[in-house]
Amino acid sequence: MEKTNPYDKFYPVSWDQLQRDCRALSWRLMERGPWKGIYAITRGGLVPAAIIARELDIRLIDTICITSYDWQSKGQTSTIKRPEGDGAGWLIVDDLVDTGSTARLVREMFPAAHFATVYAKPEGRPLVDTFVTEVSQDTWILFPWDSTPQFVPPIAKTRD
């Protein structure tokens, strides 16, 4: 039987945890700066970029607008908007590197930039320079902007 959903596990991230993880990422990035500014990858990188910009006292933020996938399907990546240049001195921020399709495209556009994500999965991890937490490839991260609090059965009960 073919598996239709590649995600066996869910990793819910609260607003508090995201704040702590972005602060931890900021500590790691502090020694690598100073930065000209941040390129936030929309949409997932917007909130982490705002937190990191605050922590590193960066006022210049621009966006890289790319479509790649949503919670139902992974598709072709396409660029909607991109800043000029090769990224020298810039920090690229995204919430997650998953399979690496978005990261590959961004790396091609900005080879001189420093690429940081809050979370990383094994397939995409080699494409980022700095991250905080690694999760398995078969885990779907539930970001606070994509979810709502609700009852979750104990793990042992979900294996039946």
- Tell me whether residue 57 is one of the annotated catalytic residues: no
Catalytic residue among 8, 57, 98, 129: 98
Gap between the Cα atoms of 78 and 117, Å rounded: 20
Amino acid letter for position 157: K
- Please tell me what DSSP assigns to residue 126: G
Distance separating alpha carbons of residues 118 and 97, to the nearest angstrom: 8
Told to judge if 16 belongs to the known catalytic residues of this protein, a careful annotator would answer: no
Q: Are 12 and 143 in contact (CB under 8 A)?
A: no
Beta bridge partners of 12: 142
98 is catalytic: yes
Q: d(Cα 40, Cα 45) in Å, to the nearest integer?
A: 5
Name the token pair of 155.
């793990």
Residue 35, token pair as written in the block? 């930065």
Torsion of CA 91, 81, 144, 16, to 10 degrees: 20
Q: Which of 94, 129, 138, 146 is catalytic?
A: 94
The active-site residue, picked from 21, 57, 62, 95, is 95
Catalytic residues, by residue number, are 94-95, 98
